């Protein structure tokens, strides 16, 4: 078709689907390099995983094109009948998997979901209890450099000095003294099971909202290998990737009614579910990413399959096997082991920082992240720990035997941190090791 200026109007298919290599060779090259990296390295970052081809297909679908401000049945744009069905499908699947009364699938990720909870439940300067970042918590649970620590009064609870697990007696004492309005339960580097029942009892004693952040353990909850917090908590937040193997997004689960509405929100005309929804949109976000919601619906369908329960069980089996293999090689682990998908190497007695070890492991094809540990005296940009996770390698089909070999790879690098020849040798061995396994979502080329 010619336009009035005499030139041809470029149609989307001319510069888009499916010819990325022809349209943008640089991005295509980076894509191929990333695929190669994921095929030939050990992805041990606890927050990463491999989404399936079906999830990736939905993520890259034409639902990207649809603007859908509002909620199903109450949109601000026309032509949303199909995406109304789509969002409702994702909501109903999510509620069914977790047994929740209400679900919101529009948060762009986990931190925006948590921010919406703050705005729905609290007023500025209200007190918030959470696990400090160095002890395994998350930035949005009241850490000083985050909005949650600057806009609200943060009240940390601690780990037991000897066990390095949550000290519920100390938590109760602190809650009774400080009377927080919200208590977080969850974290990014806590390798043990959370006692939601104990936390709910404490929260009730001080009329506090209890909110669980299950971003890391979401898939484990669905698989039945970690307790479900929904019956104990007022609100539950999560990302939609990590152990649930979905797209990069977030969601919020909640009760419909607010048990503390007469006490904390006596003037509000809205119940808890409505306040959550209003905090997500229009307070904090505009139009939802419908392609992400489509991919979430697909991931939830996959997670409802019995094979996902087997997958979740294997994640934990692998984490325990990796922990045991490292313990047998003389390494110290935070809490002495793991109950979930992650373990944290405690390297405080080493001359090198966690960051230095992570860099050396990366050069050897072992992708992990440096992490703070309880009692860490190093700067957060250096740290004294390494966090390891098993969701991604489990998605590749690895089992306990492979965890023993992975521990040997890690040990070779960490015992000889300055021997580049050893690192290069391990890198070759890791690449050969990985090629025996399929990587979900990456096509054969």
The dihedrals phi and psi of 410, each to the nearest 5 degrees, come to -60, -45
Q: Is 140 a catalytic residue?
A: no
Q: Cβ distance 98 to 236 under 8 Å? A: yes
Can you tell me the distance from the alpha carbon of 294 to that of 59, in angstroms, rounded to the nearest whole number? 7
Kindly state the tokens that stand for 37. 């990296």
Can you tell me the distance from the alpha carbon of 42 to that of 38, in angstroms, rounded to the nearest whole number? 8
Catalytic residue, chosen from 48, 69, 84, 400, is 69
Can you tell me the distance from the alpha carbon of 246 to that of 300, in angstroms, rounded to the nearest whole number? 8
Rg of the Cα atoms in the chain: 23
Catalytic residue, chosen from 213, 258, 277, 346, is 213
Q: Is 242 a catalytic residue?
A: yes
Which residue from 281, 283, 294 is spatially nearest to 75, judged by alpha carbons? 281
Catalytic residue, chosen from 40, 67, 179, 363, is 67
Can you tell me the distance from the alpha carbon of 54 to that of 299, in angstroms, rounded to the nearest whole number? 8
- 347: helix, strand or coil: coil
Helix (H) or strand (E) holding 36: helix 25-40
Helix, strand, coil share (%) of the chain residues, nearest 5: 45, 15, 40
Q: Is 69 a catalytic residue?
A: yes
Catalytic residue, chosen from 95, 248, 309, 363, is 248
Residues 6+ apart with CB under 8 A from 281: 69, 70, 71, 106, 288
Q: Cβ distance 246 to 77 under 8 Å? A: no
- 104: helix, strand or coil: strand
Q: Cβ distance 143 to 154 under 8 Å? A: yes
Tell me the angle at which helices 196-205 and 168-178 cross, rounded to the nearest 10 degrees. Answer: 20
Q: Is the dihedral of CA 10, 11, 14, 20 positive or negative?
A: positive
Q: Is 152 a catalytic residue?
A: no
Kindly state the tokens that stand for 405. 């070999």
Catalytic residue, chosen from 43, 66, 75, 242, is 242
Q: C-alpha distances in angstroms, 325 versus 164, 319, 401, 406?
A: 20, 10, 10, 9
Q: Cβ distance 356 to 184 under 8 Å? A: no
Catalytic residue, chosen from 140, 188, 239, 292, is 239
Is-cis flag, bond preceding 130, omega within 30? no
Q: Is 248 a catalytic residue?
A: yes
Which residue from 251, 189, 198, 252 is spatially nearest to 216, judged by alpha carbons? 189
Which residues are identified as catalytic? 67, 69, 213, 239, 242, 248
């Amino acid at each position: 078709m010619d336009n009035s200026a005499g030139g041809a109007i470029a149609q989307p298919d001319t510069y888009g689907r499916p010819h990325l290599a022809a349209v943008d060779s640089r991005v295509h090259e980076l894509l191929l390099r990333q695929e190669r990296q994921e095929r030939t390295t050990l992805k041990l970052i606890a927050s990463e995983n491999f989404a399936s081809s079906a999830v990736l297909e939905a993520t890259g679908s034409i639902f990207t094109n649809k603007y859908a401000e509002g909620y199903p049945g109450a949109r601000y744009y026309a032509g949303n009948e199909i995406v109304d069905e789509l969002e409702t499908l994702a909501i109903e699947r999510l509620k069914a998997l977790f047994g929740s009364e209400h679900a919101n699938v529009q948060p762009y990720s986990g931190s925006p979901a948590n921010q919406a909870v703050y705005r729905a439940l609290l007023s500025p300067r209200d007190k918030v209890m959470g696990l400090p970042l160095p002890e395994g918590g998350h930035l949005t649970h009241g850490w000083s450099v985050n909005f949650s620590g600057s806009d609200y009064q943060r009240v940390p609870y601690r780990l037991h000095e000897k066990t390095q697990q949550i000290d519920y007696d100390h938590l109760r004492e602190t809650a009774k003294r400080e009377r927080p309005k919200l208590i977080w339960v969850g974290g990014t580097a806590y390798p043990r099971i959370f006692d939601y029942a104990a936390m709910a009892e404490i929260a009730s004693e001080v009329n506090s909202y209890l909110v669980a952040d299950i971003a890391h353990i979401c898939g484990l909850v669905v698989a039945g290998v970690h307790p479900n917090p929904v019956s104990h908590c007022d609100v539950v937040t999560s990302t939609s990737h990590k152990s649930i193997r979905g797209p990069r997004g977030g969601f919020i689960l909640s009760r419909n009614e607010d048990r503390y509405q007469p006490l904390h929100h006596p003037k509000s005309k809205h119940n808890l579910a409505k306040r959550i929804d209003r905090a997500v949109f229009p307070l904090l976000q505009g139009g939802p990413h419908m392609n992400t919601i489509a991919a979430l619906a697909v991931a939830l369908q996959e997670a409802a399959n019995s094979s996902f329960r087997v997958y979740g069980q294997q994640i934990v089996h692998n984490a325990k096997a990796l922990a045991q293999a490292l313990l047998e090689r003389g390494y110290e682990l935070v809490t002495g082991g793991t109950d979930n998908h992650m373990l944290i190497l405690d390297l405080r007695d080493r001359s090198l920082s966690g960051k230095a070890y992570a860099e050396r492991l990366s050069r050897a094809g072992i992708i992990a992240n440096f992490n703070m540990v309880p009692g860490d005296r190093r700067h957060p940009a250096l740290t004294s720990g390494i966090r390891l996770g098993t969701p991604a390698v489990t998605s590749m089909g690895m089992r306990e035997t492979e965890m023993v070999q992975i521990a040997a790879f890690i040990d070779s690098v960490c015992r000889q941190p300055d021997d580049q020849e050893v690192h290069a040798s391990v890198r070759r061995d890791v690449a050969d090791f990985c090629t025996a396994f399929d990587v979900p979502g990456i096509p054969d080329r």
